[in-house]
């Protein structure tokens, strides 16, 4: 929605650094990263009390409250609801951090941390991504929105020294609870920041367009989804993997069922729930919170990172849903060059070998997040954030827009051609100077490769048994050199090209099999050279996504491919804000395995892909069609 205001963000790197330093000085904040020092400060300046707060159905939730010792003024309440525990437990035990950042600790807030139902010391039964109950009849109908309401109601009546205003914030799973907590918001809840929130668990975290993110799901569920045996302050022990070489371990196990038996030992109930629901049925539809984001708090700030490997989908879709369902709410979006939660925990100056030239995390914490809550919870004289404050990778600058995606974005697309060529074309039909004219196709109009589940393309060069955070910007030369990865690239760009918003890939495929995955990667190819500081020849992945081919027409009703018959594939790659610099090239890679980030598709259609048997895994030849009859394109928005 349009705003009457706009917040201009400093964009030069030196300016960012100076602004952070000036802000800390002007607010009297001696910011430190030493946990022991901050813990001492919290102990000296806050009083901790632990409560069992009753919900409307009688269930009591463990809640830790930290109030400033200085009672000469009132303070807003800032809540985090979490499934990860509120350690350290005990009235005399103090944490080394509180709230979103140290700025809040030193400014003075009443901090509230709460174990959600069925976790750690809270009563009740825990349910993953608790389904929302839109129509409630009586006190028995509870969900995370009612638990948040009841918590706020109790806090405002029983905790002294508050100013009547409440905020909520959380990252990842706590981000989901922040989203849920602002539905039909309590009158005292005036500012909420869902950060990397789960929006729809069929597209966030473990599933991407039906493809199972094996390495991530295994690690997270193994560490966080074992059943507890009653209230406890301890996290159940995870089952250890015998090697860091996940590629070898998961490949040798052979099937998803064998991975469960061999390494999880069938001890994670939600893993089994996932295996029983490969399609987007009611089990998954209940875990989509997006349609329920109505009547939310007056001010909402959704935060995510371009390189968030876990909940990028939920972040953009949450922003869009709040925007659509709450036209009068001040709903804004912030996106930086961050990994999952990196805006809160890192300097944000680089990811792997890629530099972002400034301390973007520190800038966000001091000049975006802290002022947002100060403005709405304390009436501080702070400018409201712009509708969209986003970091443009490639140029390494902050940019602001009065809508997202930007309204002035010109529809353009990349088009695949024979010989591995790629062109940039605008919707009007003319080609900018940064592209080359297509040649006539002397070949049949397709490129093909053999995909072998026994020799899958690795998703990273690193030897690891987990999903690394660096993979989203990793050098892709290791993949492009394989014969089962198709590579298309432009000539060297003659001028800068900035793209903003979501990407949409569309192409026709045919296969000798009856099922297949398709991975599409957008890559920035740096100029070659001899200066190692400039990453010569580096192929930086900018965005990537995977589609499980059986779900090409419906996530609810999978379909087999008819061997040899061209079939259209449509795949949304989530939003980007990236500038391809003059002299760089744009590259597209297409492949069908991405292991062990994504489990192997047997390439034989079976009713439940998770129960495919070893004999179902077969080699197949896949063709990507790219002629005038079957154009292959990736659409995007181009901005100045």
Question: Average pLDDT of 150-155?
Answer: 98
pLDDT bucket at 530, cuts 50 / 70 / 90: confident
Do the beta carbons of residue 433 and residue 467 sit within 8 Å? no
Query: Does residue 401 or residue 2 have the better pLDDT?
Result: 401
pLDDT at 426: 82
pLDDT at 347: 96
Residue identified by tokens 């995955």 is 517
CATH of 13-200+287-401, one of 3.40.720.10, 3.40.50.150, 3.40.50.1820, 2.40.70.10: 3.40.50.1820
pLDDT at 14: 33
Task: Delimit the CATH 1.10.3020.10 region(s) of the chain.
Answer: 210-284
pLDDT at 33: 56
Using CA atoms, how far residue 583 sits from 243, 490, 492, in Å, is: 42, 11, 5
Q: Which residue stretches of 564-606 are H helix?
A: none
Res 17 pLDDT > 70: no
Res 521 pLDDT > 70: yes
What phi-psi label fits residue 209: left (phi over 0), alpha (psi between -120 and 50 degrees) or beta?
A: left
Segment 387-422, tens digit of pLDDT: 999 999 999 999 999 999 999 999 999 999 999 999
Cα–Cα distance for residue pair 89/414, rounded to 1 Å: 55
Cα–Cα distance for residue pair 88/379, rounded to 1 Å: 32
Res 587 pLDDT > 80: yes
pLDDT bucket at 437, cuts 50 / 70 / 90: very low
Question: Average pLDDT of 124-147?
Answer: 96
Res 2 pLDDT > 60: no
pLDDT bucket at 16, cuts 50 / 70 / 90: very low
pLDDT at 9: 38
- What is the per-residue burial (b if ≥16 Cβ within 10 Å, else e) of 299-315? bbbbbbbbbbbbbbbbb
511 CB-contact burial (10 Å; exposed 0-12 / middle 13-18 / buried 19+) = buried
Instruction: Domain 210-284: give its CATH superfamily.
Output: alpha-amino acid ester hydrolase ( Helical cap domain) (1.10.3020.10)
Segment 456-482, tens digit of pLDDT: 999 999 999 999 999 999 999 999 999
Question: Average pLDDT of 586-609?
Answer: 98
Question: Average pLDDT of 217-224?
Answer: 96
pLDDT at 443: 79
Least confident of 191-195, 228-232, 556-560: 228-232
Cα–Cα distance for residue pair 548/479, rounded to 1 Å: 20
CATH of 410-639, one of 2.60.120.650, 2.60.120.260, 1.20.1070.10, 3.40.462.10: 2.60.120.260
Closest CA to 315 of 342, 275, 354, 346: 342
pLDDT bucket at 119, cuts 50 / 70 / 90: very high
Res 611 pLDDT > 60: yes
Instruction: Count Cα atoms within 13 angstroms, Cβ side, for 599.
Output: 29
Task: Delimit the CATH 2.60.120.260 region(s) of the chain.
Answer: 410-639
Res 68 pLDDT > 60: yes
- What is the per-residue burial (b if ≥16 Cβ within 10 Å, else e) of 25-53? eebebebeeeeeebbebbeeebebeebeb
Question: Average pLDDT of 10-22?
Answer: 36
Res 427 pLDDT > 90: no
Least confident of 167-176, 277-286, 463-472, 527-536: 527-536
Cα–Cα distance for residue pair 212/507, rounded to 1 Å: 22
Res 432 pLDDT > 50: no
pLDDT bucket at 533, cuts 50 / 70 / 90: confident
pLDDT bucket at 534, cuts 50 / 70 / 90: confident
Least confident of 24-38, 99-113, 117-131, 292-306: 24-38
Segment 261-316, tens digit of pLDDT: 999 999 999 999 999 999 999 999 999 999 999 999 999 999 999 999 999 999 99
Q: What is the largest CA-CA distance in the chain?
A: 81
Name the phi and psi angles at 355, rounded to 5: -95, 145
Q: What percentage of the chain carries pLDDT values higher than 70?
A: 92
pLDDT at 20: 34
pLDDT bucket at 532, cuts 50 / 70 / 90: confident
Res 28 pLDDT > 60: no
Res 4 pLDDT > 70: no
Res 430 pLDDT > 50: no
Tell me the pLDDT of the chain averaged across its residues. Answer: 93
Segment 549-570, tens digit of pLDDT: 999 999 999 999 999 999 999 9
Q: 3-state class of 238 per DSSP? A: coil
Q: 3-state class of 561 per DSSP? A: coil
Res 30 pLDDT > 50: no
Query: Does residue 98 or residue 428 have the better pLDDT?
Result: 98
Res 155 pLDDT > 90: yes
Cα–Cα distance for residue pair 284/280, rounded to 1 Å: 6
Name the phi and psi angles at 174, rounded to 5: -60, -25
């Amino acid at each position: 929605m349009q705003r009457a205001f706009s917040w201009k963000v400093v964009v030069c790197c030196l300016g960012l650094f100076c602004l952070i330093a000036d802000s800390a000085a002007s607010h009297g904040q001696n910011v430190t990263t030493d946990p022991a020092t901050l813990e001492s400060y919290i102990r000296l300046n806050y009083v901790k009390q632990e409560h069992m707060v009753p919900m409307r159905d009688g269930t009591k939730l463990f809640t830790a409250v930290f109030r400033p010792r200085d009672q000469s003024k009132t303070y807003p309440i800032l809540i985090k609801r979490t499934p990860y525990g509120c350690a350290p437990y005990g009235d005399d035990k103090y944490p080394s951090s509180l709230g979103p950042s140290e700025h809040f600790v030193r400014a003075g807030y009443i901090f509230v941390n709460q174990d959600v139902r069925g976790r750690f010391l809270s009563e009740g039964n825990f349910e993953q991504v608790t389904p929302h109950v839109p129509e409630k009849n009586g006190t028995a109908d509870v969900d995370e929105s009612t638990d948040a309401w009841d918590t706020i109601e109790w806090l405002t009546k029983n905790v002294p020294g508050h100013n009547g205003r409440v905020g909520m914030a959380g990252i990842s799973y706590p981000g989901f609870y922040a989203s849920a907590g602002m539905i039909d918001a309590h009158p005292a809840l005036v500012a909420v920041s869902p950060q990397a929130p789960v929006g729809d668990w069929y597209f966030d975290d473990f599933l991407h367009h039906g493809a199972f993110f094996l390495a991530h799901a295994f690690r997270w569920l193994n560490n966080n989804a074992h059943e507890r045996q009653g209230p406890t302050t301890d996290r159940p022990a995870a089952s250890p993997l015998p090697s860091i070489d996940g590629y070898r371990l998961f490949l040798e196990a052979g099937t998803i069922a064998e991975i469960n038996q061999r390494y999880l030992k069938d001890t994670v109930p939600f893993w089994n729930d996932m295996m029983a629901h490969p399609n987007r049925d009611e089990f998954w539809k209940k875990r989509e919170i997006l349609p329920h984001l109505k009547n939310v708090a007056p001010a909402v700030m959704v935060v995510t990172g371009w390189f968030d490997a876990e909940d990028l989908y939920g972040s953009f879709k949450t922003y869009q849903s709040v925007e659509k369902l709450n036209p009068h709410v001040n709903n804004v979006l912030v996106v930086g060059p961050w990994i999952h939660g990196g805006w809160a925990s890192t300097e944000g100056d680089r990811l792997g070998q890629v530099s972002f030239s400034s301390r973007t995390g520190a800038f966000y914490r001091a000049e975006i997040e802290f002022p947002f809550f100060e403005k709405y919870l304390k009436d501080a004289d702070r400018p409201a954030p712009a509708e969209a404050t986003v970091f443009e990778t490639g140029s390494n600058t902050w940019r602001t827009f009065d809508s997202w995606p930007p309204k002035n974005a010109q529809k353009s697309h990349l088009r695949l051609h024979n010989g591995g060529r790629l062109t940039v074309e605008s919707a009007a039909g003319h080609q900018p100077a940064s592209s080359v004219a297509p040649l006539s196709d002397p070949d049949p109009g397709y490129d093909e490769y053999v995909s072998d589940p026994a020799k899958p393309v690795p998703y990273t060069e690193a030897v690891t048994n987990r999903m690394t955070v660096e993979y989203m910007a990793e050098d892709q030369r290791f993949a492009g050199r394989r014969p089962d990865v198709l590579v298309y690239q432009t000539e060297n760009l003659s001028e800068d090209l900035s793209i903003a918003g979501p990407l949409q890939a569309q192409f026709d495929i045919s296969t000798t099999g009856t099922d297949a995955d398709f991975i599409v990667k957008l890559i920035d190819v740096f100029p070659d050279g001899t200066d190692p500081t400039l990453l010569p020849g580096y192929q930086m992945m900018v965005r990537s996504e995977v589609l499980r081919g059986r779900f090409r027409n419906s996530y609810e009703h999978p379909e087999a491919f008819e061997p040899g018959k061209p079939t259209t594939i449509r795949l949304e790659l989530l939003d980007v804000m990236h500038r391809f610099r003059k002299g760089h090239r744009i590259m597209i890679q297409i492949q069908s395995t991405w292991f062990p980030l994504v489990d192997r598709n047997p390439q034989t259609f079976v009713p439940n892909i998770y129960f495919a048997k070893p004999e179902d895994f077969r080699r197949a030849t896949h063709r990507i069609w790219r002629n005038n009859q079957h154009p292959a394109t990736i659409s995007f928005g181009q901005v100045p």
